[in-house]
Amino acid sequence: MQTKPHRLPSAVEILLLAVLFAVLALIVLAQANPGTSSIRRDSGFYLYIGDQLLHGKMLYRDVWDHKPPAIYYLNALALWIGKGSRWGVWLVEFIFLFTAVCFSYISLNRLWGTSAALAGTSLWLYGLEATLQGGNLTEEYPLALHFISLVLFIRLLEQPAHRLFQFLLGVMLAATFLFRPNIAAIQILMGFVLLIAAWMQKRYKDILPLLTRVGIGAALPILFVAGYFGAKGLFKDLIDAVFTYNFAYSQTPLNEGPRIAAGFNTLGGAAWIALGGYLSAIWLFKKDAHNRFVYLYLLLGTPLLIYVNDPAKRFYPHYFMSLLPFLALLGVAFWRLIQTKVFSNIRLSSVYQFGGYFLLLAAAMLYFFQTDRAQGYINAVVGYRTDEKWMVERRSPVAAYVRSHTQPDDLVLFWGAYPSENFLSRRDAPTRALFYPLYVDSDVSTKLNDQFLHDLIANPPVLIVDMSDPLEFPSLDGEKRREQFDSGFTLIHTPANLEQVFDFIAQNYTMVETVSGRQVYRLNSVR
């Protein structure tokens, strides 16, 4: 594969693109603005655990969740940057998203030119708007890794023996794996297509070096992480969290129906464009020899990612973030087919391209300031608190109540798996088993469920706040709980000690107040 040379952008064009990409990132990340947004459940786990790591706790030993370590340590770094503020996390999100947009543009521009790059990048950002769900998620940060990998993949199709690019592709694979193992299929498939290309082009001597360098690049970060946790005596805990529990999780379907239907429900019109792009890629695979292996990657990778991305059929919108690089490429494939059939004789000069940059930037700026997105950032800046040396954050009424009715060393349990409130109230949970009851039946779940009850008895929290969603968790209020079960409520998996937990709370706690619809229970021995 030899890529057609593209005119290098001028300094002014680079500046316009940088400003455009920054504005687009600001628009999408408005839903993660700490000044206007609440913390959602998954993000709350990462924030609380990241904060605990900064205070000397150890992942999987002192605080437990079932993700690989990258998301927690990245949150710890972000909170350190922000001096404990969520704005540090937002800043890291912005850096990762801006990087993803830049490499998206670079890769698509290298393949198909400026208009395709802008169209494809805009399309996946539209998809991100629909799937971000407040941000700070394990699928979000790897977007930058995916698009960097795409650039490396394209360059390796051009320069198959480039040692550094091969090694870096392996590093991107490992980094993605350490956020969420199953979406590392994106980089694994790139390596597979590179092997197919080497075989079809009769470059047999390139196959072993490719496997070796990509393998070394992937192995080094993973071995470093495994060695670190092994040195702490936590290697088995790492394996249990990342593999044993998640295997059981993946074998516990939550919904019926095809995954692709959930994708259409989540992505809307963008999914239809992607479908058109997939059909276009079939035709272009035969007609466009120049980019044949890119189309092969799309044809193989799209159905593969749809499956491995969500084997348990949870259908959470943020799961579809991992498909956004394919959405970008499929959208451009659709555009490419239309271009070759309808606009094949149209060539835009650099003047028109420059004007296109300017118009897109003007449209993005107009949208940014005409909606409440810009105002949200402005309010955060205006609300700058000199006492905390940071911008304003949205506070939870429940967390504010807990802070004013407990001491800093008091333990507080937020029933319903809401460690975000522990983070906001700056109060530790009484147990490392933050999610109880766990959704799946496994040996790891049994161990953690038992530990939850043990810790609850051994370290009774001063307050328990019932944050439960009636569709997901049983209420702590006995009457409400009976109504839930009478109406057909069921748990995906019911721990053997669930009634013991309810009995202990009923015997040792009294409901003292309702805050924003949440019942607060106080330990009887504490007044």
Instruction: Tell me what pLDDT residue 99 has.
Output: 99
Q: Which one is predicted more confidently, 91 or 356?
A: 91
pLDDT band at 392 (very low <50, low <70, confident <90, very high): confident
What CA–CA distance (Å, rounded) separates 147 from 324?
10
Distance between CA atoms of 319 and 302, rounded to whole angstroms?
14
Lowest mean pLDDT across 42-51, 85-94, 258-267, 340-349: 340-349
pLDDT computed for residue 335 by the predictor:
87
Average pLDDT value for the chain = 93
- The span from the CA of 150 to the CA of 295, in Å, is 13
Amino acid 389: pLDDT: 46
Provide the token pair at 475: 């209420």
- Looking at mean pLDDT, say which of 1-10, 200-209, 340-349 comes out highest: 200-209
- Report DSSP letters for 359-411, one per residue: HHHHHHHHHHHHSHHHHHHHHHHHT-BTTTTB---PPPHHHHHHHHHS-TT--
Q: Determine the pLDDT at residue 380.
A: 82
Average pLDDT over residues 68-72: 99
- Give the separation between CA 297 and CA 194, rounded to whole angstroms: 9
The pLDDT-based confidence of 387 (bands split at 50, 70, 90) is very low
The kind and range of the H/E element at 519 are strand 518-523
Measured CA to CA, the distance from residue 442 to residue 248 in angstroms comes to 6
Portion of the chain with pLDDT greater than 70, in percent: 94
Taking only the tens place, the pLDDT of each residue in 180-199 is 999 999 999 999 999 999 99
Query: CA geometry: angle at 30 spanning 465 and 90, to 5°?
Result: 70
Per residue in 113-134, pLDDT tens? Answer: 888 999 999 999 999 999 999 9
Residue 504, burial from CB neighbour count under 10 angstroms (0-12, 13-18, 19+): middle
For residue 392, which of 383, 405, 403 has the smallest C-alpha distance? 383
The CA distance from 159 to 518, in Å, is 60
Q: Residue 199 in 3-state DSSP?
A: helix
Q: CA-to-CA distance for 34 and 50, rounded, in angstroms?
A: 17
Write down the pTM of the prediction: 0.94
Rounded CA gap, 122 and 113, in Å? 14
Lowest mean per-residue pLDDT among 9-23, 313-327, 420-434 = 9-23
DSSP state of 433: B
